[in-house]
């Protein structure tokens, strides 16, 4: 840890100053006991009893009077080093996830979904997070690569920040949690390759977060459309879990219409398909799901799950999403490779997290930049 050298240096400085003070003190006491003599303890007591205590005090006073600041400095350094040690050794600071500081957490489980995609579970200790009372909320965590000093954002499958406060403020049963990251390995991806290499349970990852990615006030969206490709499905899963999991199928009151269009290379690479379809089955009035694959499987069962084989086209969005209707509060989120984002909503801007101008198919259908989010 980078904090250990700070404490070590402070301690060394304090000990050096104290050692210097002791040498000065020994210089004053040599008049009583020269270095060449080592009196017996009984003789020591006898000499002290026979000495003039007032003279002894006079002789010792200059020892610290010659350098009074050294004693004060040593005391300050000792207190400072103790404070730093207590600060960094506090369990709450060492263990809890922080948005602005990396913490090491253990991998608890991992599962390969395909040859190049894995679900990685990480046990984390959560701080007391302020609830966000809205289903329209996406957040990420940042993972650090220790060798090349880079960080990358990943969207956990479940939201970390609660949608509402606990019934009992003293109830901290959710302090410990497991977050799941869906990681696809790319040949030129340093971080994804590292995560696939270290995914064995028991290994540690350095993580900071949660960091808000996007949010919208509750009740201000009538229809939420999510167009995703590949691992870009993870923010959609987080939204689905945040929206539907706290509810039962009998109480879908006030839910926005959720339209999910998912693009995958094949049915096998359509991640978490069973979970998505379970929401559609449980909330048919609120959830609509369309699946597009580039290559259709040969068996008849899988063909029933696929809505289209091929690329997403303007006619598909016009049919499933429709043109912009000013009477309906509609928000469209696009998440996936840059090629998809550019074709559907226009390319992102050159700056970090810059949305860029609205373009592509959505501009053709009359949507404005304040209705479209590019992740």
Tokens of 50: 């026979």
What radius of gyration, in Å, describes the C-alpha atoms of the chain?
A: 32
- Here the tokens at position 233 are 């499905």
Sheet holding 223-229, edge to edge: 308-309, 287-293, 257-264, 223-229, 330-335, 372-374
**Binding positions:** 152-154, 182, 184, 191-192, 234
Partnered with residue 373 across adjacent β-strands are 333
How far is the C-alpha of 84 from the C-alpha of 78, rounded, in Å? Answer: 10
Helix (H) or strand (E) holding 152: strand 150-154
Q: Which residues are annotated as a binding site for FAD?
A: 152-154, 182, 184, 191-192, 234
| Helix, strand, coil percentages in the chain from 3-state DSSP, rounded to 5 | 35, 25, 40
Q: How far is CA 238 from CA 137, 163, 192, 319, 334, in A?
A: 9, 12, 20, 26, 14
Helix axes 234-244, 273-282, angle to 10 degrees: 30
Tell me the two tokens of residue 117.
């995609």
Give the tokens for residue 118. Answer: 């894995």
């Amino acid at each position: 840890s980078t904090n250990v050298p700070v404490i070590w240096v402070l301690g060394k400085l304090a000990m050096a100053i104290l050692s210097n003070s002791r040498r000065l003190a020994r210089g004053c006491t040599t008049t009583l006991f020269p270095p060449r003599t080592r009196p017996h303890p009984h003789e020591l007591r006898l000499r002290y009893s026979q000495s003039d205590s007032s003279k002894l005090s006079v002789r010792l006073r200059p020892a610290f009077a010659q350098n009074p600041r050294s004693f004060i400095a040593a005391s300050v350094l000792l207190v400072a080093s103790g404070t730093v040690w207590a600060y960094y050794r506090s369990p709450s600071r060492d263990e809890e996830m922080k948005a602005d500081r990396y913490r090491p957490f253990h991998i608890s489980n991992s599962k390969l979904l395909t040859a190049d995609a894995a679900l990685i579970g990480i046990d984390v200790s959560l701080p007391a997070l302020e609830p966000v009372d809205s289903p329209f909320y996406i957040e990420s965590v940042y993972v650090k690569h220790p060798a090349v000093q880079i960080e990358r954002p990943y969207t956990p499958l479940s939201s970390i920040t609660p949608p509402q406060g606990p019934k009992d403020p003293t109830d901290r049963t959710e302090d410990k949690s497991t977050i799941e990251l869906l990681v696809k390995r790319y040949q030129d991806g340093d971080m994804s390759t590292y995560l696939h290499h270290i995914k064995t349970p028991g290994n540690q990852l350095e993580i900071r977060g949660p960091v808000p990615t996007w949010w919208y006030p509750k009740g201000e969206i009538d229809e939420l459309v999510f167009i995703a490709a590949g691992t870009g499905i993870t923010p959609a899963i987080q939204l689905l879990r945040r929206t539907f999991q706290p509810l039962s199928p009998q109480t879908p009151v006030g839910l926005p219409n959720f339209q999910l269009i998912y693009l995958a290379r094949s049915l096998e690479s359509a991640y978490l398909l069973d979970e998505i379809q379970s929401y559609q089955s449980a909330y048919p009035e609120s959830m609509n799901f369309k699946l597009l694959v580039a290559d259709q499987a040969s068996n008849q069962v899988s063909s029933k799950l696929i809505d289209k084989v091929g690329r997403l086209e303007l006619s598909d969005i016009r049919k499933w999403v429709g043109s912009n209707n000013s009477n309906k509060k509609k928000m469209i989120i696009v998440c996936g490779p840059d090629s998809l984002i550019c074709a559907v909503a226009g390319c992102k801007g050159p700056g970090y997290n810059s949305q860029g101008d609205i373009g592509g198919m959505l501009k053709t259908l009359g949507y404005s930049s304040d209705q479209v989010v590019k992740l």
